[in-house]
Amino acid sequence: MTDIASRNGAGSFVEIRGVSKWFGELQVLDDIHLNVEKHEVVCLIGASGSGKSTLLRCLNMLERIETGDIVVDGQSLTTGKVNVNELRRKIGIVFQAYNLFPHMTVLQNVMLGPRKVRGLSKEQSESIAHDLLHRIGLEAKAHEYPDRLSGGQQQRVAIVRALAMEPELMLLDEITSALDPQLVSEVLQLVRGLTEVGMTMIIATHEMGFAREVASKVCFLDGGSILEEGAPEQIFTNPTQARTRSFLARVLDAEKSA
Amino acid sequence: MHALHQVLHAFFNPHSFTLALPDVWAGFQVNLRMMFIAEALVLVFALFVAIVRGLPGRGAKPLRVLAIAYTDFFRGTPIILVTFIVGFGLPGLQIGFISSRSFTVYGIVALTLVYTAYVSEVFRAGIESVHPSQRSAARSLGLSYAQAMRYVVVPQAVRRVIPPLLNDFVGLQKDTALVSVIGVAEAASLSQQFSTQNGDFASYVVAAVFFILITIPLARFTDHLVAEREMRERAQAF
């Protein structure tokens, strides 16, 4: 790819071009530019309220953007012609609070997308779900309801529920923030597996060690804009911005004392 | 002593009980039929009204307004007036099919109109009680608005509102007696006839017992559901 092409972001799988967003008077995103290539893992770091979650929610149109444009797989999200449901089939999202459907069993949670959105048969959907649950070692829980599972187990089910749609892009929104510390690693292990098979991902996270390990690019968000972006080594060992340095110092300090 | 004897004689004469029982039972079967049909219709229509009231977007505004107007009108109008309007008004219109139904049918229509308004509010509260994140999760899987409602929101909402819903149904069951004013031959009106002929009030007591007998199981069942939910929620807290 030429320099010019990469500067324009032409051909990137995800192109975020000058996106801003307000909640009433409050500006939550401020002129965000970001390109994500296929198989890239981008980690968004920054304090709570810096806009990480909102940016992810804009990407699958759970939130509307006021200015700028987002292009996913060559398709602009702001033309009004985009089919929201088609777009969301390509983009899986996992939330901090798992959001499993409490009235369905684990198996039914995972089957719902394949069955109703991909239009597969009951047998096919079931076999996809069983296969995924088997891979994360939760097949024994297939017929349990989510409230019988630990937080870590629920979050892993939420991840495979998204994977059952065979998405081309996964958005992970602080997926370990609600978990007890001892449950974090089982979830991160699953995400690590996804990076190994080349899944394109945008990950909002407070797990700095993990971001440093899996990210191909790290973006530091502050007050709704990307203050600094670069390779994880550069961001974590040699940040250019004072605010990045003070943020990292605060977070790493907290991690040490924890 | 004399007063007590009079009360016993007027309301609890065993002989009158036995005499009144067949008539009142025949009438009560009409009540039962009205209950079941009206309840089935109310469930369907009320859910429909509740969903229409929650439709998003500016395009759906006329529909939302219509649903609100419907609920306001039928919750605000005394059921006896609705019964008059339907039971005397519709036959008076003299338009074939609509005007040639039996009083029982008009009674069912009146009950359905009024209780649909009440129960739609119950359903609406249930739908609104489902956390928005459930909708986000459903929509982000690629489910359409209708699919998200059908598979994720409504099933959870319905489960939550079963107790208040059954409460409204107790009201509906009793109000089957009210619609007899337009001439439905059901338990209340037949017991009144019997009372006039027989000169005492035992038939009323018989009718009351029938209503109570079917209300009590429903009330206990509702209690059971509420208690069960509390248990489950407490278990989850640990």
B13-237 falls under which CATH superfamily? Answer: MetI-like (1.10.3720.10)
Give the tens place of pLDDT for each residue, A177-206. Answer: 989 888 999 999 999 999 999 999 999 999
Measure CB to CB from residue B141 to each of A86, A102, A117 and give the nearest one.
Answer: A117
The band of A6, judged by pLDDT with boundaries at 50, 70 and 90, is very low
Please, what are the domains in chain A?
Answer: 3-257 (3.40.50.300)
Q: Kindly give the confidence (pLDDT) of every residue in chain B, 238 residues in length, as a single tens digit, with 9 standing for 90 and above.
A: 688 888 887 888 888 778 888 888 999 999 999 999 999 999 999 999 999 999 998 999 999 999 999 999 999 999 999 999 999 888 777 777 766 678 899 999 999 999 999 999 999 999 999 999 999 999 999 999 999 999 999 999 998 898 899 989 999 999 999 988 888 888 888 889 888 888 888 889 999 999 999 989 888 988 888 888 777 766 655 5
Q: Judge contact between A227 and A73, C-beta under 8 A.
A: no
Phi-psi domain of A98 (left: phi exceeds 0; alpha: psi -120 through 50; beta: other): left
For A82, phi and psi rounded to 5 degrees? -70, 135
Could you please report the per-residue DSSP string of B141-209? TT--HHHHIIIIIHHHHHHHHHHHHHHHHHHHHHHHHHGGGGS--SHHHHHHHHHHHHSSSHHHHHHHH
pLDDT for the residue numbered A258:
63
pLDDT for the residue numbered B229:
79
Q: Which of A45, A2, A13, A32 is nearest to A172 (CA)?
A: A45
**Distance, C-alpha A184 to centroid of its chain:** 16
pLDDT for the residue numbered B128:
95
Q: How big is chain B, counted in residues? A: 238
Please give the helix or strand (H or E) that residue A28 lies within, else none. Answer: strand A26-36
Give the tens place of pLDDT for each residue, A132-152. Answer: 999 999 999 999 999 999 999
Between β-strands A217-222 and A225-230, what pairing exists: parallel, antiparallel or unpaired? antiparallel
> Which amino acid belongs to residue B67?
A
pLDDT for the residue numbered B99:
67
Determine which of A61, A85, A87, A89 to mutate to test the interface with B (most B C-beta atoms within 10 Å).
A85
The ranges assigned to domains in chain B are 13-237
Determine which of B134, B140, B156, B232 to mutate to test the interface with A (most A C-beta atoms within 10 Å).
B140
Burial tier of A208 (Cβ tally within 10 Å: 0-12, 13-18, 19+): buried
Q: Which of A44, A56, A32, A50 is nearest to A215 (CA)?
A: A44
B63 or A4, higher pLDDT: B63
Residue A240 is given by DSSP the state: S
Give the tens place of pLDDT for each residue, A17-61. Answer: 999 999 999 999 999 999 999 999 999 999 988 999 999 999 999
Interface residue B196 vs chain A (CB under 8 A): no
Query: Which residues of chain B have a CB within 8 Å of the CB of A147?
Result: 236
* Number of alpha carbons in the 13 Å side-chain half-sphere of residue A248: 23
- The 3-state DSSP class for residue B5 equals helix
Query: Which residues of chain A have a CB within 8 Å of the CB of B140?
Result: 60, 62, 88, 91-93
> Which amino acid belongs to residue B161?
V
Give the tens place of pLDDT for each residue, A151-168. Answer: 999 999 999 999 999 999
Interface residue B129 vs chain A (CB under 8 A): no
Interface residue A108 vs chain B (CB under 8 A): no
Please give the mean pLDDT across all residues of chain A: 91
For residue B25, give Cα distances in angstroms to B17, B28, B174, B186, B187: 11, 5, 15, 9, 7
Q: Which of B7, B71, B44, B8 is nearest to B165 (CA)?
A: B44
